[in-house]
Amino acid sequence: MERYFKMKICLINFAYPPYEIGGSTIYTKILAESLKRRGHEVIIITTGKSFFKDSQGIKIYRIYPFGVWIPFLRRNKISLMGRLRTFVLNFWNPDSYFKIKKILEKEKPDVVHIHEIPYLSLSVYSAVKRAHIPIIVTIHSINLIFPMNNLPELDEIAGIRYPLMNSFVYKMISKAYSKINKMIAKPEVVIFPTKAIKDIYEKEGFFKNSKKEVIYNFLEDKKNKKSDEKKKTFDIIFTGGYQLHKGGQTIIRAVKEIKDNNIRIHFFGEGRKKIKDYFKKIAENDKRIIFYGNIKNEKLEEFRKEMDVGIVPSIYFENCSMSILENFRSEIPVVATNIGGNPELIKEGYNGYLFNVGDKRQLKEILNKLMKNKKILKKMGKNAYRDFVKKFNEKKIIEKIEKIYKKLSLHNKKEGK
């Protein structure tokens, strides 16, 4: 981009590293660093104990909105009243509104790009509108439609129970919740990382007056060269941690039914202790199932060099899975559930395989087939990386996003706002 198109861009997400809570957090950091490398001034607004920090030239404002309980910042138990208060304030929190409005008035960004804003609340939209700044939003999940951020039928399969309500009551609450969100969330441009998530929001009547774009997530193109060392083991990587909706229980049960002693499932990530204990119980001390917990990203990339297959067995509406992209970048084919955006990323037999949600037998069959066909596996890995370069290329995607920023910014200036 030419010199005079350098912009001041504000990104807003409910979490930002060192808190890595879900794909939107990882993606917001990747986007911020990419924009910074391209010469833009980048500002982050996120949650945290209130302070300002300049991190490698990226300004980070952290706020803790009054009245809400943010579980990754406060480990203490919360009362039922505290949960209800947090739920209500997620719609519109006056404290968030005034704090964010003050930051925007001080920084005067050209555009604001909103990602996910639970705990900050939909008052973010009001604060940005009040400051007369154009809004872009990237839709990372279905949390504007369902407060538990998943399709109710998938929660049933995963065995997730809603507090103090059954599935019917939850669906009724979700309808009201969705209607309120629809009224407040009105950006100029909406970016959907897959067509699948675009379709579900359009079906629910969201963003009728917004321009809509399907633009994939991306990663920096740093090829993670695979190890050429010959090995006896067949190594599978899973990074979903101890969360029922990420489907760790499905892969554990599938591996338990495979008789081959050379199979290994490398289990990364954290979660609730109750779920961790449950996963370890069904693993029954099987030495082929190895639990690591959280490790640094650099170390995880080193592990990927030895992996044969990535597994994304989610019982969850996946959008544009960062886990799939990370595996593709490392020449690792992926086996994933045929839900959400996964079928848009994975072509059967080309760069991976799809299986039905929760179907351990189908997953077992796929893994058995791959273990017997190392040549096909290697070819699929090459195809996965080829797809990564072609579809999830940083330069190509960041230029599309910059084009949106530029158009909105110039139009706003022309209008004299």
List % helix, strand, coil for the chain (3-state, nearest 5).
Answer: 45, 15, 40
Average pLDDT of 3-26? 88
154 or 46: whose pLDDT is higher? 46
Tell me the three state secondary structure of residue 156: helix
Torsion on CA atoms 325, 329, 334, 336, rounded to nearest 10: 0
Asked if residue 115 has pLDDT above 50, the reply is: yes
Q: What pLDDT, in 10s, does the model give residues 161-215?
A: 776 677 788 888 889 889 989 988 889 999 999 999 999 999 999 999 999 999 9
- 3-144+185-218+393-414 and 234-391 have identical folds: yes
One-letter identity of residue 394: E
Superfamily (CATH H level) for 234-391: Glycogen Phosphorylase B; (3.40.50.2000)
Percent of the chain at pLDDT > 90 equals 71
Q: Quick check: 282 pLDDT over 60?
A: yes
- Check pLDDT > 70 for residue 272: yes
Query: pLDDT (tens digit, 9 = 90+) per residue, 53-81?
Result: 877 889 999 999 999 989 888 766 777 78
The token duo for 224 is 């993670």
Residue 20: partners with Cβ closer than 8 Å, 6 or more residues away: 26
Q: Confidence band (pLDDT; 50, 70, 90) for 2?
A: very low
How is the chain split into domains, by residue range? 3-144+185-218+393-414, 234-391
**CA 362/CA 135 separation, integer angstroms:** 43
Residue keyed to tokens 């009105």: 186
Q: Any idea how long the chain is? A: 417
Radius of gyration for the chain, computed over Cα atoms and rounded to the nearest angstrom = 22
Distance CA 303, CA 232 (A): 16
Q: Under CATH, what is the fold of the domain 3-144+185-218+393-414?
A: Rossmann fold (3.40.50)
- For residue 416, what pLDDT is reported? 66
Instruction: Give the model's pLDDT for residue 3.
Output: 44
More confidently predicted of 411 and 163: 411
Phi-psi region of 352 (alpha: psi -120 to 50; beta: other; left: phi over 0): left
How far is residue 198 from each of residues 182, 205, 206, 252, 319, measured CA to CA in Å?
14, 11, 10, 32, 10
Q: Which residues lie across from 213 on neighbouring strands?
A: 191
CB 219 within 8 A of CB 30: yes
Predicted local distance difference test score (pLDDT) of residue 164: 64
Q: What is the pLDDT of residues 249-268, one digit of tens each?
A: 999 999 999 999 999 999 99
Q: Given this model, what pLDDT does residue 417 score? A: 62
Query: 293-349: per-residue pLDDT in tens?
Result: 988 888 999 999 999 999 999 999 999 999 999 999 999 999 999 999 999 999 999
The pLDDT of residue 4 is above 60? no
Query: Once rounded to an integer, what is the mean pLDDT over residues 279-293?
Result: 95
The percent of residues in the chain predicted with pLDDT above 70, rounded, is: 97
DSSP state at residue 268: E
